[in-house]
Amino acid sequence: QVLATMEQLEKVSSFQEFVQIFSQFGNEMVEFAHLTGDRQNDLKDEKKKARMAASRAVLEKCTMMLLTASKTCLRHPDCESARINKDGVFHRMRLALEQVIEIVTDSRPNGENEIAPISIYSGIKEFKNKVEGLRENLYFLSKENLSTMLEVILEHTEDFTDSAYTSHEHREHILELSKQAKMELEQLVSVWMQAQNQKTKDLMEDLEVAILKTCQCMNELKREVHSAATSLAADLLKYHTDHMVLKALKITGAEGNLEAVAEYTCKLSEQKEQLVEMCRLLRHVSGTEPLEITCIHAEDTFQVTGPQIISAAETLALHPSSKIAKENLEVFCEAWESQLSDMSMLLREINDVFEGRRGEKRVYLSLPRPGKHNANLKALKPVKLDTEEQAKIAKLGLELHLLTSSVDSETEKWEDQENEIVQHGQGMSSMAYSMYLFTRGEGLLKTTQDLFHQAEIFATEGTKLASALHAFSHQVHDDDKPLLLLEAEKLISMCKQLQITAKASVQGKSATFTKVDACILKTRNVMTLLCQLLPLCCKLLRKNKAGNGCLKPAPPWREDRIRTGTNVHTPERRAETFGIKSLENHVTNMTFLESK
């Protein structure tokens, strides 16, 4: 279903048709997310589970990109860079869907066998196991077999020694240890061969010493490549935290400065190569197959997102007054920034594995600890969700995510963006998006108390929308009034229920999770009702041709729609489907909401 709808989306030629099909696509993606989430939890193979998680992450992020890339293409149909940008999103989504198919059917196209990536870490682990096995059996493998294994490991160390980003000190140490490893193996093989012919006590003691020295050398080599990879990653992540190149691309693109954009795209390409190399080196020392797969996913993300940012920046430079082109560039830049943030977490996990601090299975989602908004609340310990709880919260979060998309699409249809109904709808959608980010462990809602506080404000905004609907009911014909008032009463009731839930006092992990689950579920229900209310009001406005906020019968694509920045009830929200916005705006909005 998703593939079929994607084909329709790729071929649309009008914005109205696109909005209609994208709404269907969003519903299908929610159902697909449920199915793939269930399948991911069912999988016993941690490697497949990690691949499924990577595919689902691609599909979720690309769904955000698909909307703005397609809208930009529809707004600028003759722009080649916009077409390239859109095609890249569809291509990546298809690759992710193909990987999901491979995992759930346990097959690969054309009967190919999966070639597992070989890392230095796994190579050393297997080599040491073989060497230590000589204590029990002198005849279970050949010396050629052992020599070949070492050669493969040392070939992979060339990824470090040949890299322009490896420090001179690390390079020299790796080369020295590689040379020493060859010598230790030669000594081991010599004693081993003698022991096979004559198993004396002295020879067996010499063999034990040779085994220990060989394994120690390999441990030192592993430690050296780990240090080289992680120190490079730490330096690069620290260096690129300011996102200066992305900021420069946004500014020069908005100025229509093609020459400056070309200059900064070269710098971004250099940055991409650095980060791709970092991911390749980290894969060698990741320590587990799931983390190896995460490194490969990160490498692919940088490899693909870099050129997409460039095509989005070129489109903006060619159309500097285009607000949708500007928003599209923002979406891709935020995907880049998000991946950089994920790399910091991945680096910590790799270090934990190396230091032996992580013996449990990977946790894909955790619940933030309660905050201290109320001095009377007892400080509770951080809580960790089990797999079933993680999946439940993640599913609700994704549904909330896609509902914000539908609300944004509906508010875009209103000619007058200052209409009170639109403003309250946009504000609620913005807050719902913040709650979605919470389910991913992202955004400014860091604690459960932050979430509950946000839910209260969301409910208050919904009650204000209901008041606006009552006022609007006086403008419509008597035949239409009962339906509108009925929907408004539903909204009031649902918001009151959410207020009660958000204010309820709880303690303990189980009770906290139940409250979080209830708040997100009730927020989702309000957003579902909002998705029905907005088109209903639009229809009544068109029918009655009354007041501001009337929708024209055949609305053209409007990129220069009016935005409100003065109404304090509504946090400013970008029109992009999933409500991604700049950190500055987010901080401003949240500060205001907290003060309320």
Q: Answer with the residue of higher pLDDT: 380 or 407.
A: 407
Of 387 and 363, more confident: 387
- pLDDT of res. 61: 87
- The per-residue pLDDT for 318 is 96
- How many beta carbons lie within 10 A of that of residue 121, not counting itself? 25
Which residue(s) pair with 383 in the sheet? 367
The CATH number of the domain holding residue 162 is 1.20.120.330
Residue 536 and residue 392 share a domain: yes
Which of 482, 483, 424, 422 is CA-nearest to residue 457? 424
Let me know whether 251 and 105 are in one domain. Answer: yes
Beta-carbon neighbour count of residue 197 at 10 Å? 8
Question: What's the mean pLDDT in 140-160?
Answer: 91
Residue 41 pLDDT class (50, 70, 90 cuts):
confident
Q: Is 372 contained in some domain?
A: no
Between helices 258-284 and 323-354, what is the axis angle to 10°? 20
Q: Are residues 210 and 259 in the same domain?
A: no
Q: Looking at the structure, do residues 105 and 124 belong to the same domain, yes or no?
A: no
- Domain assignment present for residue 592? The answer is no
Specify whether 393 is located in the same domain as 524: yes
pLDDT interval class at 583 (50, 70, 90): very low
How many domains does the chain fold into?
3
pLDDT tens, 224-234?
Answer: 999 999 999 99
The label of the residue with tokens 């149909």 reads 77
> What range defines the domain where residue 526 resides?
387-546
> Mean pLDDT for the chain?
82
Least confident of 71-80, 106-115, 582-591: 582-591
Q: In the chain, helix, strand, coil percent, each to 5? A: 75, 0, 25
Q: Could you tell me if 165 and 294 lie in one domain? A: no
CA–CA separation, 233 and 215 (whole Å):
27
- Three-state SS for 373? coil
pLDDT digits (tens, 9 = 90+) for 45-59: 888 998 999 999 899
172, 195, 230: which is the final residue of a domain? Answer: 230
Among 334-338, 509-513, 541-545, 561-565, which is the least confidently predicted range?
Answer: 561-565
Considering the domain boundaries, does residue 406 fall inside one? yes
Residue 502 lies in a domain: yes
pLDDT band at 428 (very low <50, low <70, confident <90, very high): very high
- pTM of the predicted model as reported, rounded to 2 decimal places: 0.63
pLDDT band at 279 (very low <50, low <70, confident <90, very high): very high
DSSP bridge pairs for 367:
383
CA-based max dimension of the chain: 106
Question: What's the confidence (pLDDT) of residue 33?
Answer: 86
> Binning pLDDT at 50, 70 and 90, where does residue 579 land?
very low
Last residue of a domain, one of 187, 203, 230: 230
Q: Mean pLDDT, to the nearest integer, of 470-497?
A: 87
